[in-house]
A = this chain, B = another copy of it.
């Protein structure tokens, strides 16, 4: 999966993207970094979807190999690594916004979305209805650069 460079199934740009991040977990890890400001292995493990430890380690390694994320040692705790998005990874933000917007338009999602905070639900609806996604994307980029949680009350 998300295999070694050099043996692509095809050179279609859609396929190229899917081979980079189109598995069950990669975009959820990126989501955690983008919207929740998560940065360490332990934080990723805590997500609602419950990723297994070996799968998480594998995905982090492959995202790093593809240049979507990078890691560096934690300055204060040498057991930890700090993962962050490269520019290539930050450029996936528009994609995440489109996925959120797509889901946000559907009644199927709306009826399942009981547990979000009001601010989260408000933002999802905003993503789904805005004319100008550029503004949203910039806000998210700023929030990531600040290392903070996107849904923080302003």
Interface residues of A (CB under 8 A from B): 1, 5, 8-18, 20, 22-24, 27-28, 31, 47-50, 88, 91-92, 94-96, 98-106, 108-109, 112-116, 124
The smallest beta-carbon distance between A85 and chain B, in angstroms, is: 13
Oligomeric state, in copies = 2
Besides the known contacts A18-B28, A94-B98, 12 further A-B residue pairs in the complex with CB atoms under 8 A apart: A11-B112, A11-B113, A12-B49, A13-B113, A14-B31, A16-B106, A17-B103, A20-B103, A23-B24, A94-B101, A95-B95, A95-B99
From the candidates B8, B15, B50, B100, name the one contacting A13 in the complex (CB within 8 A): B100
The smallest beta-carbon distance between A60 and chain B, in angstroms, is: 18
